[in-house]
Amino acid sequence: MSLDALRTVQAFTDASSVRDLQAGATLFREGDPGERLYGLLEGVIELREARGSAAERITAGHVFGAAALVTGGHRRQATAVALEPCRLLELDRETFLFAVQETPMFALALIAGLEERLEQVKGGGA
């Protein structure tokens, strides 16, 4: 289901929304204000929490960072680091809200993708 969310992000973005990261680059840091959702087209992003809990790996095809657009005044709960060269799509709050309004199934796809990620973390897989 995560691919459905990524396809929606692709439909509501253009070439100016693509961001490339080199391996080792930081996308955002824990505590930063969250202003964008990301769709990972290529590569692997690792989410690391300062509290020492296990890191989570986000792989191509997944969307992450939605809490930044749903919760006012949101602060990132982890640091996101590219483990290899990555290509991402960025979606701001205004475009996110429009996408949810125009394609309500997008919200369900985001929830399903989050559930999938939680199960992987809970099960120890990544």
pLDDT tens digits for 23-80?
A: 999 999 999 999 899 999 999 999 998 876 667 899 999 999 988 888 778 889 899 9
All structural domains of the chain, each given as residue ranges with its CATH number in brackets, are 2-123 (2.60.120.10)
Residue 76's CB is within 10 A of a number of other CB atoms, namely 19
pLDDT of residue 54: 61
CB 41 within 8 A of CB 89: yes
Residue predicted with more confidence, 117 or 8: 8
Answer positive or negative: Cα dihedral of 102, 105, 107, 110: negative
Q: Is 54 left (phi over 0), alpha (psi -120 to 50) or beta?
A: beta
Q: What is the pLDDT of residue 107?
A: 86
pLDDT averaged over every residue in the chain:
87
- Could you tell me which of 88, 87, 107 has the C-alpha nearest to residue 96? 107
